[in-house]
Structure 1
Amino acid sequence: MKRFLIGTCCFVGLSAFGVEYKLGGSAETFGKFGFNNGAYNQAAQKNPTDSYASLFGAMELDVKAQNGLSAALGGAINALVYDSTFSQGGESLGNGYIGAWFGYKGDKAMEAKQYILHNAFVGYEGEYFGFKAGRYESSGLDWFGAWNQGGELYIKNDLFKLWGFYSDSRAMAYSNWFWDYTRFSVAGKGVYAGGLDLGSDSVKLSLYAYGSQDRFVAPGVKFAWNEALGEQLSNEFVAIGLFPINEENPKGMSGGAALAGVDTLFGDKLEKYTQTLFIREQVNFYKHFAGIMLYKNWGNANAWIGSYGDPFNGFDIWIGSAYDKGASLSDMIGRNAMTSIGYVGGDYGDFAWQILGRHTQSPRSNEDSLALTLNQRLYKELSMRVKIEYFNDMTKAGYSVDGKASPLARNQRNDRSHIMTWLIQRF
């Protein structure tokens, strides 16, 4: 009781000096259900679409001061409640989505972790300077997403912003993906980035570079243009060029071995000089929007960058099957792949919708999909999201679907159509 009273007095006292506290979190359910739910058969080269469902919960304490200082502490828990791979192939693959951990350096056998201390940082945000250090959810980066263990800082004025970023390791603490902090995505190494942003919120030019020791260096340039064309009409345009220079024989792999010239995703040759081009054009009108996106790789540009962080603005590229090479990863980030996307939607406050169509063509496979996404606020902080997607994946002769069987003698079509559902209660 005495400790409780002392703690209460401290909270009240600090609040009097402009310190605000917020205790909150969420409880969520997620489910993905594949329509092609037959049995996996490696010998017969049958690769169905898996299904799984999970229960997720998170609790966080956020502290903010009037002088710009902030801190947070939070944990999350997630558990599988359904995994179709038990009956489809006799081996549980659902932990590849929920609970997978490959050790800090990403070089260990997978083990399941259902709890993550995902949020623990201190930071400062001011008019000319800011920083954040610890564990926090990254934002505003073109080529890095999810939760970061590391730090970032910036110096800016009205004309420019100079920024730096470092990731010691990365985690995913969400209802559909749940991985503890690991360096798996860059095979045991950290990631760094830095850049210079010039201009305003309306017109901005960014020059930056990402990199990882013994893995890659990727200079990039970005141009963004946002303009109001009328009271209920606006335009958003983004163009990004990324130029990864890959180490052809990366060092420092588990056991001291190199990758022998292949990447960690689809097994393609790891070329040294590669490029990625991304273009997005979106028009907003009244409560609606419509846009197009183009994504093109020359060479194996996304071997190390582009798979665990991309500029697609909310579009999910992990939508295939656990039985496929890359474990659900779309081939749109594959070698020499080209993807065109068109979408239209509306947002009315409590209800939003979107229809998105995509065509991907690459040496390994062609993909065609059409997805309808619906978001509905049910009551106060309770909301629901549903995505129904038709997805046809054709893997070409000479490639293996799952990476285990021998290469295909002829093209093989696989139905990756699915439905995903989210039920979210925030508090």
Structure 2
Amino acid sequence: MKKIYSSFALLALLGTSAQAFDYKVGGSVEFFSKVGFNQKQIDVANSIYPTDTWGSIVGSAYIDMDFLTQEQKDLGNSLTGGFGIMAGGLVFDNTKDASGNPNYKTAFFGSANGVGNSVVAQEYITTNFVIYNAYLDYVKKTNDHRVEIKVGRYNSKAQFMSGSTQGFEIDYQYKGLNLWWFSSYGRGFGYSQWMYDFYAPKQHGNANYGIHAFKPSYTFDSGFYISPFVYFSPDFYVAPMLELGFDSNPNFNQEGFRSQTTIFFMAPYHLENAQNDYRYQFVAGKNGQTLAIKQRFDYNNFNFGAGWYQNFGNANAHIGTYGNAMVGPWDFWTNTVYDFGALSNAVTKDAKTGYIFVGASHGKFSWDILGRMTFSTRGDEQAIPLNLTYNFTQNCKIWLKLEWQNVTLHKGYVINDGTSINPDDTKWQSYQTKKSVSSDRSHAMINISYSF
């Protein structure tokens, strides 16, 4: 162990040789579009809003770097890095004139709030340029020990932090044991559907204390997996979690049979400064719980399964909406952009979601279809998304999703873009639904990408 950690003192020396430096330059061009089938005009008084239709074109460029010689690598060292940028923007947008409705403009959006006249430009494509990658990654291997330190901006693998993170992580592995520390002080996006400059997901005032996680886990030779771990954000929450899993065939490669079971439990405790925050039109409260169960079966190139995701209280008030790998194999940002930026009611207070799915891959073509039902205090949802992917070449791919979806908002709640309002405040009472309102949120999404 002493040998492993003393090697970090040599980090600067390991990459000093000019002849060791190697790099690869690449990039991509992408087109994305969402087409909402409900194009009704905004009617604030009756809580009627269309489903957004918009499209974007983005281009990216990156450089991947390897700083070590083969001799240094043979000793168990690795020092790599990356730098990536993305630029682009909207090419059409049916939400750009939303502020033309005087009621909507005054209540939720538009020049009255100083944010412009496009809802999509506030929720999805919020910048035209982002540095999404800028990192160093050092790995040291000695016998069965492996230590990795990664720092900078890079694609997050945290279960509750999607997109790119800005921070660092330390990963130690020894046989079946894994100890992982994660600290993030910013989150950003460099995708054709989401372009965000880096921001702090959890922040009161000017203090950014970050989001952190410590995750020990152990995988047994039998395929069983156990991980008692914790996420926490100072000033907001401490969230102990437990994940149990079983994989009958970890080396599965589309031949034979595989069963994967995951059981997850989370019990976030909201700290005093965050207990009275209104999130998704409910007060956060002192605590909440989340239970998630997923079962997947694979047989050769086919897969099928089912899952359940349930909140007790407002468990996702402060964790679970800026990334949530436990919700299931479906996108929970498919409502209308006018309502919480298209966030599903599945992560709101006392929400229960059940789903089933089936899919397959056939060479260059793959497909999957899922059925989902969500019931919550705020609203109910039913959805059937069909995903189709085709790889024309190694560099050119098209993805198409067709989704039927119905969303019913219950009486007394507000369709709006803000996540922190108290619907019982006098300011918002005139916008509350007088009865349940059902809206067609069916849509199509397409993404065409070419990389080089």
Match of 1:262 among 250, 263, 277: 277
Are 1:247 and 2:265 matched, yes or no? no
Aligned residue in 2 for 1:28: 30
Whichever residue aligns with residue 278 of structure 2, its letter is D
Listed as ranges, the matches of 1:120-135 within 5 Å are: 120-127=134-141, 128-135=146-153
Whichever residue aligns with residue 196 of structure 1, its letter is P
- Determine the C-alpha separation between the residues in 2 that align with 1:329 and 1:126: 41
Aligned residue in 2 for 1:417: 442
Whichever residue aligns with residue 306 of structure 1, its letter is G
1:82/1:32 CA distance change after superposition, 3 Å: same
- Determine the C-alpha separation between the residues in 2 that align with 1:122 and 1:369: 41
Are 1:115 and 2:117 matched, yes or no? no
Aligned residue in 1 for 2:403: 389
Aligned residue in 1 for 2:85: 75
Greater helix percent: which structure?
2
Are 1:138 and 2:147 matched, yes or no? no
Aligned residue in 1 for 2:119: 93
What secondary structure does 1:327 align onto? helix
Q: Is the 8 A contact 1:32 1:418 kept in 2?
A: yes
Whichever residue aligns with residue 71 of structure 1, its letter is G
Are 1:358 and 2:372 matched, yes or no? yes
Match of 1:159 among 155, 165, 176: 176
Match of 2:334 among 302, 316, 319: 319
Q: Give unmatched runs, 5+ long, in structure 1.
A: 1-10, 101-112, 251-259
Are 1:195 and 2:222 matched, yes or no? no
What secondary structure does 1:86 align onto? coil
1:314/1:341 CA distance change after superposition, 3 Å: closer
What secondary structure does 1:126 align onto? strand
Q: Is the 8 A contact 1:339 1:359 kept in 2?
A: yes
Q: CA RMSD in A?
A: 2.0
1:203 is displaced (CA, Å) by 2.1
Give TM-score, length-normalised by structure 2: 0.82
Listed as ranges, the matches of 1:51-62 within 5 Å are: 51-62=53-64
- Determine the C-alpha separation between the residues in 2 that align with 1:145 and 1:371: 21
Q: Is the 8 A contact 2:294 2:328 kept in 1?
A: no
What secondary structure does 2:346 align onto? helix
Q: Is the 8 A contact 1:97 1:178 kept in 2?
A: no
**Alpha-carbon displacement from aligned partner over 1:256-278 (angstroms, at most 9, x marks no partner):** xxxx82334x1202121211111
1:78 is displaced (CA, Å) by 2.5
**Alpha-carbon displacement from aligned partner over 1:141-191 (angstroms, at most 9, x marks no partner):** 222211000000022211311110000110111111111100145555410
**Alpha-carbon displacement from aligned partner over 1:7-57 (angstroms, at most 9, x marks no partner):** xxxx9x85x54x542211211000001000121121232111111100111
Moved more, 37-46 or 410-419: 37-46
Aligned residue in 1 for 2:245: 224
- Determine the C-alpha separation between the residues in 2 that align with 1:249 and 1:164: 25
Q: Is the 8 A contact 1:80 1:98 kept in 2?
A: no
- Determine the C-alpha separation between the residues in 2 that align with 1:78 and 1:210: 34
Q: Is the 8 A contact 1:224 1:237 kept in 2?
A: yes
1:284 is displaced (CA, Å) by 0.5
- Determine the C-alpha separation between the residues in 2 that align with 1:25 and 1:349: 25
**Alpha-carbon displacement from aligned partner over 1:79-126 (angstroms, at most 9, x marks no partner):** 0011101356633212023442xxxxxxxxxxxx21011100111123
Give TM-score, length-normalised by structure 1: 0.87
Aligned residue in 1 for 2:259: 235
- Determine the C-alpha separation between the residues in 1 that align with 2:191 and 2:150: 21
1:420 is displaced (CA, Å) by 0.2
- Determine the C-alpha separation between the residues in 1 that align with 2:354 and 2:203: 27
Q: Is the 8 A contact 1:358 1:368 kept in 2?
A: yes
Identity in percent: 29
1:184/1:158 CA distance change after superposition, 3 Å: closer
Whichever residue aligns with residue 198 of structure 1, its letter is Y
- Determine the C-alpha separation between the residues in 2 that align with 1:263 and 1:44: 24
Whichever residue aligns with residue 211 of structure 2, its letter is V
1:137 is displaced (CA, Å) by 0.5
What secondary structure does 1:56 align onto? strand
1:302 is displaced (CA, Å) by 0.6
1:204 is displaced (CA, Å) by 1.5
What secondary structure does 2:96 align onto? helix
Aligned residue in 1 for 2:233: 212
What secondary structure does 1:425 align onto? strand
- Determine the C-alpha separation between the residues in 2 that align with 1:177 and 1:333: 20
Whichever residue aligns with residue 134 of structure 1, its letter is G
Whichever residue aligns with residue 241 of structure 1, its letter is F
1:380 is displaced (CA, Å) by 3.4
Match of 2:196 among 170, 176, 179: 179
Aligned residue in 1 for 2:433: 408
Aligned residue in 2 for 1:5: none
Q: Is the 8 A contact 1:63 1:71 kept in 2?
A: yes
Q: Give unmatched runs, 5+ long, in structure 2.
A: 1-14, 101-116, 417-422
Whichever residue aligns with residue 261 of structure 1, its letter is N
